Structure 1
Amino acid sequence: MKSAPWWLGGPAALLFTGLLLVPLALTAVLSFNVYDPATGARAGEFTLAHYAMVFGDPYYHGIFWRTFRIAALVALICVLVGAPEAYVLSRMRNPWRSVMLLVVLAPLLVSVVVRAFGWSMLLGPEGLVNAALGALGLGPFKLLYTETAVVIALVHVMLPFMVIPVWTSLQKLDPGIENAALSLKASPFTTLRRIVLPQVMPGILSGSLIVFGLAASSFAIPGLLGGRRLKMVATVVYDEYLHELNWPLGAAIALTLLAANLAVMLGWNRLVEGRYRRALG
């Protein structure tokens, strides 16, 4: 039956529409509503003032720049740490592979809020990190409520999202190709650079996109470890919705974040995928 795919995919499409597209459309409409401090959002009255404020105010420029800078740094650190970790994991044999895979996935079993509170205790003035640095004569340092604390916690949370895609790509790699390169007198570094890296690039690409997107839109860790002064876009949206009650401005900031996030991710995907295709000829 030609209509069978539509019947099979229809429930998922309806669920996707109801849970994602409809709320996004309503948020987009809300972002254009006029806001009155006395009465709130005025349905049926539309304006571009909220977007003009987001794009024209240097305050929001700085917040968006900080958000994407931290997200890019987190993605870079996750690539530098997660890709070698996935490579080592793929070379392990059972039962150690299963044990290490469980260690990698263990942070996902704990709430982000719990992990954020744990890092706040570790990075606080009297925390374990400052105590260890003080014992070495290097501290104490102000780590809590800084970008450093946010980056450390985000790397801890996002690292599994980098390790798993790279590890999955490595599972598809034929070990015989590496052995053939080594038998032809290629050095281990050359084999890694010319044979392994191009074939795991899709995993690195997908992992970096996931990490960047989740880090740029994260709320709990910047809110708990960044404090009130270190604003990121998600915390500003929260403030506009629940503190200022300016829902249209909060919706405009949220949609701007979504559009900017998509633009960065699509551009990065096109750049890396183009280089990957050229490398493979």
Structure 2
Amino acid sequence: MSTFAAMRQGGRGYLLSMPAMVLFFCLLVLPLCLTLVLSFNVFDVQLGVKSGAYTLSQYLNLFSDSYFYEIFFRTFWISALVTLLCVVIGVPEAYILSRMGTPWRSIFLILILTPLLISVVVRAFGWSLLLGADGLVNQAIQALGGRPVKLLYTSFAVIIALVHVMLPFMIIPVWTSLQKLDPAAEQAALSLGASQAKVMRLVVLPQVMPGVLSGTLIVFGLSASSFAIPGLLGGRRLKMVATVVYDQYLSELNWPMGATIAVVLLVINLLVMLTWNRLVEGRYKKTLGV
């Protein structure tokens, strides 16, 4: 009777989760499968995509052209640098936020989350106004006696805007991890003669590593696939993978090539993120002695 009840309970669980599974399949799995199939379709300049005809030529062209290597390299080094800057800025900010009292903690938390309510496109246009040739930054440089500096349509503009956009995605997971940390553990370590730096390294940092891991994965993945910021602040010359996919779909009308680039970006992104997850998780378990 108990076995029958357990099976019935399990069946009920599957039944309740079925709508979410159908939604997940229709909105994520099915489009990815269609994109994968599209990447193997034959493309003709005059006729367009030939359904029912398949080839590996898009993948061969992608892996044999140094232009695409440059695009992927630029995308991933910018994403890695943005992730590093978000860790350097976001982790101390989350620690300070966790040590604030009421009502300042709520006020600063709202300030951190408020930019997420504004469209990325609007924020990108805001940065273009700041970094443009006649923007506020160059006006300040000229007021101080300097010469205007080219900031817009450079890697610097893309990086600083991506850090601004991605920083909340680093702060929130780390802050959530810090909420589980007992302040008495820090006080006990300090009372036993440990320095503040040693307490941060041996007590606080190991406890917040799950939050840092989550934040780095989110920031890196979103940065590598970002389109609005590179498109508006990088311009036509500073290409990243997402902007190249856009050009292949809407400018060149070469949908199979665009799908191929998107699939390769997804695979590389997954490999990098899974490798990083394994490295950080292994180090975290080793530190805790698990």
Within 5 Å, give how 1:266-281 maps onto structure 2. 266-281=274-289
The residue number in structure 1 matching 2:66 is 58
Q: Secondary structure at the match of 2:204?
A: helix
Which of 209, 216, 223 does residue 201 from structure 1 map onto? 209
Runs (4+) off by over 2 Å: 133-139
CA–CA separation in structure 2 for the residues paired with 1:87 and 1:16: 35
- Partner residue of 1:97? 105
What TM-score comes out, normalization by structure 2 length?
0.96
Partner of residue 240 from structure 2, selected from 232, 239, 250:
232
Give 1:121's aligned residue.
129
**Residue aligning to 2:228:** 220
How much does 1:146 deviate?
A: 0.2
Q: So what's the TM-score if we normalise by structure 1?
A: 0.99
Of 147, 150, 162 in structure 2, the residue corresponding to residue 154 of structure 1 is 162
Name the structure 1 match of 2:19: 11
Q: Deviation per CA, 1:174-220, whole angstroms, max 9, x where unpaired?
A: 11111110110101111011100000011001001100000000000
Which of residues 237, 244, 252 is equivalent to 1:244?
252
> For 2:108 and 2:147, how far apart are their aligned partners in 1?
33
Alignment partner for residue 45 of structure 2, among 37, 52, 61?
37
Letter of the 2:260 partner, please give it. Answer: A
Report the RMSD for the aligned CA atoms in angstroms.
Answer: 0.8
> Equivalents in 1 of 2:11, 2:43: separation in Å?
47
| 1:255 alignment partner in structure 2 | 263
**Aligned-residue identity in percent:** 67
Structure 1 residue 81 displacement after superposition: 0.1
Amino acid at match of 2:69: H
1:170 aligns with 2:178: yes
One-letter code aligned to 2:249: Y
Alpha-carbon distance in structure 2 between the residues aligned to 1:130 and 1:229: 22
**Equivalent position to 2:117, from 109, 119, 132:** 109
Letter of the structure 2 residue corresponding to residue 198 of structure 1? P
- After superposition, the C-alpha distances for 1:38-69 in whole angstroms (9 at most, x for unaligned) are 11110111000001111111000000000000
Name stretches of at least 5 consecutive residues in structure 1 with no aligned partner. Answer: none
State the shift of 1:136 in Å: 3.0
Does residue 81 of structure 1 match 2:89?
yes
| 1:211 corresponds to which of 219, 242, 246 | 219
Aligned equivalents of 2:144 and 2:201: distance in 1? 38
Distance 2:185 2:103 in 1: 25
Q: Paired residue for 2:56?
A: 48
* Unpaired stretches in structure 2, ≥5 consecutive residues: 1-7
**Alpha-carbon distance, 1:4 to partner:** 1.2
Q: Which moved more, 1:165-174 or 1:126-135?
A: 126-135
Q: How far apart are 1:135 and its partner, in Å?
A: 2.7
Residues in 1 aligned to 2:32 and 2:43: alpha-carbon distance in whole angstroms: 19
Q: What SS is found at the alignment partner of 2:50?
A: strand
Asked which structure has the greater CA Rg, the reply is 2
Q: C-alpha displacement at 1:106, in angstroms?
A: 1.1
Q: Matches of 1:186 and 1:180 in 2, distance apart?
A: 9
* Letter in structure 1 aligned against 2:167: L
Aligned length: 281
Partners of 1:97 and 1:23 lie apart in 2 by 41
SS in 1 for 2:43: strand
Give the Cα–Cα distance (whole angstroms) in 2 for the partners of residues 55 and 260 of structure 1: 13
Instruction: Give, as a single letter, the amino acid of the residue that structure 1 aligns with 2:81.
Output: L
